[in-house]
Amino acid sequence: MRIISYNVNGIRSAINKGLIDWLKTDPADVICLQEIKAAKDNIDFKAVNDLGYEDYWYSAEKKGYSGVAVFTRIKPDRVQYGNNNKVSDDEGRIIQLDFADTRLINAYFPSGTSGDLRQTFKYVWLNEFFIYLSELKKQYSKLILCGDYNIAHRDIDIHDPKGNKKSSGFLPEERAWMDSFFSNGFVDTFRELHSEPHQYSWWSQRFPTVRAQNKGWRIDYINVTDPLKNKLIDAKILADVKHSDHCPVYLEVDLN
Cβ-based neighbour number of residue 156 at 10 Å: 14
Active site residue 148: yes
Buried b (16+ CB within 10 A) or exposed e, 73-96: eeebeeeeebbebeebbebbbbbb
Question: 96 CB contacts (<8 Å, ≥6 apart)?
Answer: 79, 80, 81, 83, 103, 104, 105, 106
CA distance 225 to 88: 23
Catalytic member of 77, 148, 155, 254:
148
Of 36, 42, 100, the residue nearest 71 (C-alpha) = 36
Residue 72 sits at φ, ψ, to 5 deg, of -140, 135
- Asked whether 58 and 69 are in contact (CB, 8 A), the reply is yes
CA distance 244 to 149: 16
Positions marked active-site: 148
